Amino acid sequence: MTDRYRPIVDVHVILERGDDILLLERQGTGYGDGMLHLPSGHLDAGEPADHGAAREAHEETGVIIDPADLVLATVVHHRQTPHLARIGLFFATTQWTGEPHNAEPHKCGKL
């Protein structure tokens, strides 16, 4: 019997304000340092995907998002390495409470 397929599930949030989106510069994590990326992170076990996306956006940018305001924009399946697969769920929203700021300066260089 083969092992079950168990990819890592990531959630990403596209915070849209007019024609602009919010990007963070990764730093100090050892994964993608120096690259720009959306607020994102791993989905926790048993967590609904939209709730995980709202949680990650809050942890990284301080904004509060009602999961009902998130729209699934796309899904990306890829292999990070030959033995490690990931599925990324990308959610978009134009509605949140609070002004985005760098809430994790130990992981983010700037917004």
Contact between 94 and 18 (Cβ < 8 Å): no
Q: What is the CATH number of domain 8-93?
A: 3.90.79.10
Give the global pTM.
Answer: 0.91
Mean pLDDT over residues 60-88, rounded? 93
Per-domain boundaries in the chain: 8-93
1 pLDDT more than 70: no
Length of the chain: 111
CB neighbourhood size of 16 (10 A) = 15
pLDDT in tens, 14-29: 999 999 999 999 998 8
Q: What is the pLDDT of residues 49-72, one digit of tens each?
A: 999 999 999 999 999 999 999 999
- Phi, psi for 16 (deg, rounded to 5): -100, 130
Q: Which of 104, 20, 27, 33 is nearest to 63 (CA)?
A: 104
